[in-house]
């Protein structure tokens, strides 16, 4: 057996299990190649090379690169990289737009249906766990929120704060209140919106059933030794500061209450602008919080047995594996 499968978590049983399942799946001519991994691991360069190999395009599943006002702090690919391979959902929306996992799923599936008319393979690249899950598995068909209601709820959040929204959720849907990450403002606010819009608890509308997709899905996970990954994250933060992250954060500071800006790299600098911490403390917090986010990403991804893990330097092994799967 080649090293490619031994390197896949050193789990031969896992390989045979996946091989058996793939053998019995209905043949589908279209494939979504998912390149995922923690922040700073090296997804961009590798995904561009793989996209070039398959002569295809890339759909981003990064929940912050989608915003055109954010570039440096979200590590958007360089101009030359974006010109090498066509990317979608990079700077496609504004921080003033509402873009959730549901919108991501709907818009990405619509894009894929168009791309598959000419392409047999398309890449999905990113590290946003909820977005990847929504595209691969689907999420419940939640009704669209009335813009007026959304504005009212956001005003409440802006004026009253997260704790007030948490108490609203506890009153409207105690079951979901006990399940959700209460520090995740986006999810808390969204649940409140759904409850108010439908007059029903959000938890009653969630079925968590997996949706059928008309394409095959092959997931490639990228990881590095922890010390190596953390060093890359630390160095990337220093580079972001050199490239102008402070100025970029200043340009959106007045919108700091937006959920799109509740983001590592920006929220720490907002604390600095408000005089709560020093610049040195802000930079160290960005590094620490980026490392913690990478750890959370890996914990989430490791629950998915469909992911086949590689080091980013194993480009040829990854391409060989993909060709066998496709």
Structural domains in the chain? 3-140+210-225+302-325 (3.40.50.300), 147-205 (1.10.20.140), 229-293 (1.10.287.890)
CB 319 within 8 A of CB 47: no
Q: What band does 142 get if pLDDT is binned at 50, 70 and 90?
A: confident
Are residues 101 and 69 in contact, defined by beta-carbon separation less than 8 angstroms? no
**Chain-wide mean pLDDT for the chain?**
90
* Those residues with Cβ within 8 angstroms of residue 182's Cβ, 6 or more apart along the chain or in another chain: 166, 188
DSSP β-ladder status, 307-310 and 216-222: parallel
Q: What is the pLDDT of residue 12?
A: 32
Between 137-151, 225-239, 266-280, 287-301, the lowest mean confidence (pLDDT) is in 137-151
What confidence category does residue 309 fall into, taking pLDDT thresholds of 50, 70 and 90? Answer: very high
Query: In the prediction, which pLDDT does 251 show?
Result: 98
The answer, yes or no, to whether residue 186 has pLDDT greater than 90, is no
Which pLDDT belongs to residue 27?
Answer: 52
Average pLDDT rounded to a whole number, residues 205-231: 92
Would you place residue 24 in the very low, low, confident or very high pLDDT band (cuts 50, 70, 90)? very low
Q: What share of the chain in percent tops pLDDT 70?
A: 91
What's the average model confidence in pLDDT over 80-93?
96
Shortest CA distance to 83 belongs to which of 119, 126, 52, 107? Answer: 52
What 112-115 contacts at long range (C-beta under 8 Å, 24+ apart), as own/partner pairs, is 112/32, 112/59, 112/215, 115/56, 115/57, 115/59
Residue with tokens 């995740």: 184
pTM of the prediction?
A: 0.79
Sequence length of the chain is 326
**Phi then psi dihedrals of residue 119, to 5 deg:** -115, 145
């Amino acid at each position: 057996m080649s090293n490619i499968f031994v390197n896949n978590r050193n789990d031969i049983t896992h390989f045979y299990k996946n091989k058996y399942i793939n053998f019995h799946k209905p043949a589908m001519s279209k494939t979504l190649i998912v390149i995922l991994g923690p922040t700073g691991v090296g997804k961009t360069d590798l995904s561009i090379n793989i996209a070039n190999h398959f002569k295809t395009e890339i759909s981003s599943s990064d929940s912050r690169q989608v915003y055109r006002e954010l570039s440096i702090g979200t590590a958007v690919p360089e101009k030359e990289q974006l010109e090498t391979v066509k990317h979608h959902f990079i700077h496609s929306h504004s921080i003033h737009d509402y873009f959730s996992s549901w919108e991501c799923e709907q818009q990405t599936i619509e894009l894929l249906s168009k791309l598959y008319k000419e392409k047999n393979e398309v890449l999905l690249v990113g590290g946003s766990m909820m977005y990847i899950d929504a595209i691969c598995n689907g999420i419940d068909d939640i009704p669209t929120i009335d813009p007026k209601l959304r504005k009212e709820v956001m005003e409440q959040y802006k004026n009253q704060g997260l704790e007030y929204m948490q108490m609203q959720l506890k009153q409207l849907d105690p079951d979901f209140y006990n399940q959700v990450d209460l520090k995740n403002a986006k999810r808390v606010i969204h649940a409140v919106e759904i409850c108010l819009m439908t007059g029903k608890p959000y938890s009653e509308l969630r079925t968590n059933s997996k949706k059928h997709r008309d394409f095959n899905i092959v997931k490639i996970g990228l990881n590095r030794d922890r010390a190596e990954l953390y060093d890359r994250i630390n160095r990337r933060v220093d580079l972001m500061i050199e490239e102008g992250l402070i100025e970029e954060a200043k340009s959106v500071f007045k919108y700091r209450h937006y959920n799109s800006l509740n983001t590592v790299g920006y929220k720490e600098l907002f604390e600095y602008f408000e005089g709560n911490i020093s610049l040195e403390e802000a930079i160290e917090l960005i590094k620490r919080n980026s490392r913690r986010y990478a750890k959370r990403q890996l914990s989430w991804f490791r629950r998915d047995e469909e992911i086949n893990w590689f080091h980013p330097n194993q480009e040829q092994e990854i391409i060989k594996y993909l060709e066998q799967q496709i």
